[in-house]
Structure 1
Amino acid sequence: MSGGTSAPTVVAVVSAELFAEFFTAEDTERLRAAAAALGGAFVRVDRLADAALEEARVVITSWGVGPFDEAVLATLPKLELVAHTGATIKPFATDALFDRGVRVTQAGAGMARSVAEVSLTFTLALLHRVPEMHDALRTGGGWYDAETVGVQHEILGAPIAVIGASRTGRGYLELIRTLGAAPMLVDPTLDEEAATSLGAELVPLDEALRRAQIVAVHAPTLPETHHLIGRRELALIRDGAGLVNTARSWLVDEAALIAELRSRRISAAIDVFDEEPLPADHPFRSAPRVLLTPHRAAGTREGRLRQGRIVADELDAFVVGAPLAHTIDRAQLSSMA
């Protein structure tokens, strides 16, 4: 635990390793200054139980923090703000927290560029048949088999379906548009004018799946988006096309996707899975035509520091009574995984 001798008013429940990823020395000093302005000290702890919480008005959270239930809140009588370094607040945000009137903010906006870049990386890899050629060379196959690999494509002019105009979806749209793709957008919350302003053609899901060379999933996690891309939808994707998922596994039926991969009809690049860590014997690990990464699309140095900067900005605003830019309310929990 670090901090001064006075009671902590700002408590960061963030491991030392993650804290170093999120916060520069300058932003750490901003946290200390915020705590001092609130009449106390700043401390970093691994668990809430490691700090004296009677005077804490702000708690900074990261992955692994438990729910703020009645028992926890009883130890935090002066809590006014929970500032999350990540995106989803579902693991800890409770009705009791909102009933108390505690404000909650999150730093998901800091992840958008990193995830969009990985989605672009996946897109280029699938267009250029990198997984197929990599598999062939690693397993000792021939130097090049055009029939096995499939047709390679450029992104210039490629029809790409973006499923969801989320923060990452918009970031991805900007990147592929800059490289000359022909984006289609599927999002029932937008009209044609809004889609056009994002540089995309607004189309229904089925049409997008039939036309796209790449389908990139960026939709929110809602009851109605569970397995949005299921067996029927995968069957609509044309032969030789690819699926990119850096959003949530919730959106894609894994069993149906694995069956399609084994048929060698389509390819995929996946960063998110129903079970994480991915078991050693999981079918994805042996499936052909698939590129896998361990849920690290948001893990860039720059993105992590943006997340920390957002938290520091929110504390600065909180101290002076200014509006907070990244608040999440109870109703928005339903769109988080």
Structure 2
Amino acid sequence: MSRDIILVDPLPRTLELIMEPAVRARLEALGEVVISEDRRMPDEQVEALLPETVLIFGQTDMPKERLNRAPKLKAIINVESNFMPNIDYQSCVERGIWVITPASAFASPVAEASLGMAIDLARGITQADRDFRQGTEEYGLAGNKGVFRFAGAPIGIVGFGDLGKQLRELVRPFKNPVRVFDPWLPGEVIKRLDCAPSDLDELFRESRVVFVFASVTSENEGFIGRRQFELMQRGSAFLLMSRAAVVDFPAMLSAVKSGHIRAATDVFPDEPVAADHALRAIPGLLLSAHRAGGTRDAFYEIGSMAVADAELIMRGLPPQLCRRADPATASRLRSKPVSVS
């Protein structure tokens, strides 16, 4: 008897994390759900299910050989939110298999946290609180040494995908001139959102606040380093909100430790960060434990977007909410699974 199997292999996510009960019920209405959440689904179980699998929710390895053994497969929905080099994307295109991810679920909370952290760095809010608790606070103008108004300050955005575009909309009321560096986008796209296309050096030299939302690719690991930090105006703010690997992390820490810039980071080369790591004691460094996007509503949005598009796909219609993988770009990505956003 033929079955429609929905293979759920979602780690580091779980269905409880990303789906409210009503959304999970919609998923279960699409077919027979087979789940592995305590560990990655074993290869032998995946192989046994492939002939009847119509949907995959998760990060299961799907090279061409496996795709060939899954004749009914309609979609792979990556609920970790990053396309990884464990799928033959070109074969999926040729077979008409959708490969999608609801990554934009994190855009709004990450942008919101980024704005809050940027204002904090510009105005010295956290540092003022620490000074007050230590009894070294200063009042009025004396308490604002080295700070600047975020409103109107020139901004640079590195990486203009979902996160960068969302941040751009949030800062509109502050009337900041915005420069954008994104080699994957034509200038026309950037200009339509009232931003100026920029090369990397110009962006770092002219911006008072730099936000980094770039993904990691085979070509850009560590592409922001000492040169860019030296170009920044003294006392400027740098925010790393996407992937740690795009930045020379020791160079960033050195620039902050020297007092040349202030910085905030939500991501780190190794997570969790060691309890005795020296970065915990660096003044001028605002630390966030990879939590900017990990809000309750964002995780549920992952599930609702994924299931809504799965329903469309099962009806023979194209997905409308999730980002679609393109072989030309997905093959360059170097993301690795993470436990949070």
Which bracket does the TM-score occupy, shorter chain normalised? Answer: 0.7 to 0.9
In 1, are the aligned partners of 2:10 and 2:80 still within 8 Å (CA)?
no
Q: Which residue identity is paired with 1:32?
A: E
Partner of 2:29, secondary structure, is: helix
In 1, are the aligned partners of 2:17 and 2:300 still within 8 Å (CA)?
yes
Partner of 1:57, secondary structure, is: strand
5+ unaligned residues in a row in structure 2: which ranges?
A: 336-341
| Cα distance in 1 for residues equivalent to 2:212 and 2:78 | 25
Q: Which residue identity is paired with 2:138?
A: Y
Per-residue CA deviation, residues 238-285 of structure 1 (Å, 9 max, x unaligned), is 111110011111221111111111112211110111111111222221
How far did residue 170 of structure 1 move?
A: 0.5
- Once the two structures are superposed, the pairs formed by residues 1-337 of structure 1 within 5 Å of their partners are 9-14=5-10, 18-35=14-31, 41-46=32-37, 47-49=40-42, 53=49, 54-61=51-58, 65=59, 67-68=61-62, 78-90=72-84, 92-94=86-88, 98=92, 101=95, 102-137=97-132, 140=134, 142-144=136-138, 150-325=145-320, 326-333=323-330, 334-337=332-335
TM-score norm. by structure 1 comes to 0.84
Partner of 1:224, secondary structure, is: coil
Partner of 2:14, secondary structure, is: helix
In 2, are the aligned partners of 1:210 and 1:238 still within 8 Å (CA)?
yes
**Structure 1 counterpart of 2:339:** none
In 2, are the aligned partners of 1:246 and 1:270 still within 8 Å (CA)?
yes
| Cα distance in 1 for residues equivalent to 2:11 and 2:186 | 43
TM-score norm. by structure 2 comes to 0.83
| Cα distance in 1 for residues equivalent to 2:220 and 2:128 | 33
| Cα distance in 2 for residues equivalent to 1:290 and 1:160 | 19
Aligned length: 324
In 1, are the aligned partners of 2:8 and 2:36 still within 8 Å (CA)?
yes
Taking only the aligned residue pairs, the percentage that are identical comes to 26
In 2, are the aligned partners of 1:131 and 1:290 still within 8 Å (CA)?
no
Q: CA RMSD in A?
A: 3.0
Per-residue CA deviation, residues 19-65 of structure 1 (Å, 9 max, x unaligned), is 22311222212212222xxxxx224332424786252221211xxx5
In 2, are the aligned partners of 1:135 and 1:288 still within 8 Å (CA)?
no
In 1, are the aligned partners of 2:11 and 2:80 still within 8 Å (CA)?
no
Deviates more, 1:317-326 or 1:183-192: 183-192
| Cα distance in 1 for residues equivalent to 2:98 and 2:181 | 32
In 2, are the aligned partners of 1:67 and 1:94 still within 8 Å (CA)?
no
Q: Which residue identity is paired with 2:286?
A: L
| Cα distance in 2 for residues equivalent to 1:206 and 1:88 | 28
How far did residue 191 of structure 1 move?
A: 4.9
Change (3 A) 1:72 1:282: farther
How far did residue 78 of structure 1 move?
A: 4.2
| Cα distance in 1 for residues equivalent to 2:36 and 2:213 | 34
Q: Which residue identity is paired with 1:9?
A: I
In 1, are the aligned partners of 2:89 and 2:325 still within 8 Å (CA)?
no
5+ unaligned residues in a row in structure 1: which ranges?
A: 1-5, 36-40
| Cα distance in 1 for residues equivalent to 2:60 and 2:318 | 27
| Cα distance in 2 for residues equivalent to 1:159 and 1:252 | 21
Change (3 A) 1:261 1:141: farther
**Structure 2 counterpart of 1:38:** none
How far did residue 149 of structure 1 move?
A: 6.6
How far did residue 315 of structure 1 move?
A: 0.9
In 1, are the aligned partners of 2:84 and 2:333 still within 8 Å (CA)?
no
